[in-house]
Structure formats: C-alpha cells, structure tokens
A and B are shown apart, each in its own frame.
Chain A
Amino acid sequence: MNTENAEPKIVAFCCHYCAYAAADLAGSGRLQYPPNIRIIRSPCTGRLEINFFMKAFEAGADGVLVAGCEEGSCHFKEGNYLAKHRVNTTKQLLQEAGLEPERLRMVNVSAASSQKFAEYVRDMVETIIKLGPARNKKTTAKEPIGAIT
C-alpha cells in the first residue's frame, strides 16, 4: 500500500434517483465505507459532461466515481448510457494526458443497493490507494480555483 496516499480524494458524481439515494440509505443503515469520497448529486448521470470529470482531476481529485442507475432503469431512459460513453471517452483522454484511466470508474446501483454502494466505494478507494496520488498533483505550482481540500 502506498502510505503517501493514505487519504485519497475521490469525487463521486451520484445520480439523484439511484446512487444518491443508495448513499443516503447507507448512511441511515449505518453502513461503514471510507470517508474519502465527496459526493456531488446530479439530476441524472446523463447530465455529466466530459469536462466535469476533467475539472475534478484538474482540481486535485485522485479518482472520480460516477454512480448511475442500473442499465435499463434510468429515470430519463438513456442518461446512464450517455454517461457510460462519456466515461469511456474521458478514460482515453486521461490516458493521453498522462493519468491512469482506472482513476475514473462508472458503476450502476439501484436506490435500494446501499450495501453495493458501500462496496463500490471501498473498492474504488482501494484502487486509488494502489495507484497512488494523481501525478498531476505533484508539481502543482499553485492550487487552481475550486481546488478540492
């Protein structure tokens, strides 16, 4: 384990209709998962654009988790499919920019799957700890506006 990155920062974009509710349920159910994620509620994962993910990394995130509805059950029919394509495109872009594509991940959880949500977060944190801090953070001259602290 990379001790330098004991506390990775992960931004989790959660869909209002599923993952956000699952996270809420995990809280109500007192389920434990690492406190490394900062949840941003989105009306649908289809609202998330490539530059949202890029801005998160630019601002100092070590990882970005996109949590949308189960495939086939998007509240807006195809939002999670759009997000899936955008996540894949962003992975390629991250690789071009010199970051590991594994730092970005999309998962699908239903509003009732609090256990699954906690599991996905644990798994994501584990992956990011293994990868270490994002390399773009090492030589930052100054923290950009909106830096994640």
Chain B
Amino acid sequence: MIVAERKTIPELVEILKPHTNILVLGCGTCVTVCLSGGEREVSIISSALRIASRVQGLSFEIDELTIERQCDNIFIEQAAEAIQKADAVLSTACGAGVQAIAERFPLKPVYAGLNTTFIGILEERGIWTEKCAACGACVLHKYGGICPVTRCAKHMLNGPCGGSREDRCEVRHDRPCAWQLIFKRLKDINQLERLKDMEPAKNWNPSLSGGPRVLIREDHRV
C-alpha cells in the first residue's frame, strides 16, 4: 500500500488561501487504509480548515467527498460534478491520485493535502514501515523475501555493513538490521547458500534514475 501523511493545517491554509469554494476530495484506497486521506480524515481535515478559516477571518466554504479511487478515471467520474462546482480541489490521495485529478480537470487548481511517503505495510497498530522502493528490478527472491534495497539503510546487496549493533541498524537504532533479518530468514528456509552468490552493482535504470517510468502491455491494448 502507498503510505502518506497529512500536511499541517497551517500549510494547507496557506495553499488554499486564494480560494473560497474548496472541495476536499478523499480516496478510498491506500490512504484510507493508512488512515491519512479516507472519508474520516477528509471530515477531520475539513473541520480543521473550517475552524482555521473562521479563526483567521478567511472565507473558506468547504465541501467533502470521498471516492473509491482517485487514480482511476472510472471513479473520478463520480466526483466530476463536485469538482466542477469547486474553485479548487484539495486532494487527500497519494501523488498519483492528485495528478490524475489534475489531468482530468485541466482548468481546475488541484492541490495535494498529503505528503506521499512510501510503499509499505502496517507493522503494528499505528506504525507503518517502508517495504518496497519500487526500484523496478525486484531482487526479493535472492534475499529470502526481505528487501535490502529498501530496508538496509545503505542498500547493501552483498552482506551487512558491519555497523549494526545487536540486531539494530547503525543508521536508525529503532529499526532492525535488514541483513540480520535476511540471514535469519535464509537460514530458516535452508537457503543460506544463496549468500555465496555475488550480486553485481545494481542497475538503477529501471528505477526513477531512468526518468519517469511507463509500463506498456501490448496484450491489453487495442
């Protein structure tokens, strides 16, 4: 899931200041699951903006709407009327959702209400952790399903850096050393042999270093 967190209310007020009729548009997919931009959060952000608007003497008129998915035209259609009515849209979707709305409504100012942070999972209640860097060339099969590209602070591909203390990362003491996890996991599944293979320097071309990525599936095109 894509994980995001809310921008602060003063930041949002500053962004929205030139507008009056504002639609706060939520997304019912990833950002709902990570509790940052779903229906409930739209309600909270809208309330906070209304209060801030009155406190600061601004004239925000805020509408709320949450659609199933903002990165999909079929669902965006359901918000078309509300978006047309508004002067501006504050989207609480991930960066992809915000841009999908902006592309679909070229004359409408669309702003991001969240900072999209990473692809991750819910580790425990209230804690999300990054698991995938979307590097474009997955190596998980070599490391027992634990990604050294994402979860090792130094992106080490051929063993630990040597700086870890106990089983903690040298860079972030609150996080486990990815290589400790990889070793344990490979041992548990009897694949320690894999560590004898040398991994060449990673080719970052399939990642964002090669420019914005496009996926073309000829079998789905007409």
In the complex, how many residues of chain A place their beta carbon closer than 8 angstroms to a beta carbon of chain B? 21
Q: Which of A50, A94, A135 contacts B54 (CB 8 A)?
A: A135
Interface residues on B, range: 10 to 19
Q: Give the CA-CA distance A136 to B9 in the complex, in Å.
A: 15
- Are B47's CB and A58's CB within 8 A? yes
Q: Which of B8, B44, B57 contacts A50 (CB 8 A)?
A: B44
> Any chain A CB within 8 A of the CB of B48?
yes
B-chain residues with CB within 8 Å of residue A141 when the two chains form the complex: 59
> Any chain A CB within 8 A of the CB of B43?
yes
Residue-wise, chain A 125-138 has the 8 Å CB interface mask toward B (1 for contact) of: 00000000001111
B-chain residues with CB within 8 Å of residue A137 when the two chains form the complex: 54
Q: Give the CA-CA distance A54 to B48 in the complex, in Å.
A: 7
- Are A96's CB and B47's CB within 8 A? no
A104 to nearest B CB, angstroms? Answer: 12
Given A93-B9, A97-B9, A98-B56, do A136 and B51 touch, yes or no (CB 8 Å)? yes
- Are B40's CB and A58's CB within 8 A? no
- Are B50's CB and A58's CB within 8 A? yes
> Any chain B CB within 8 A of the CB of A49?
yes
Q: Which residues of B contact A (CB under 8 A)?
A: 8-10, 40, 43-44, 47-52, 54-57, 59
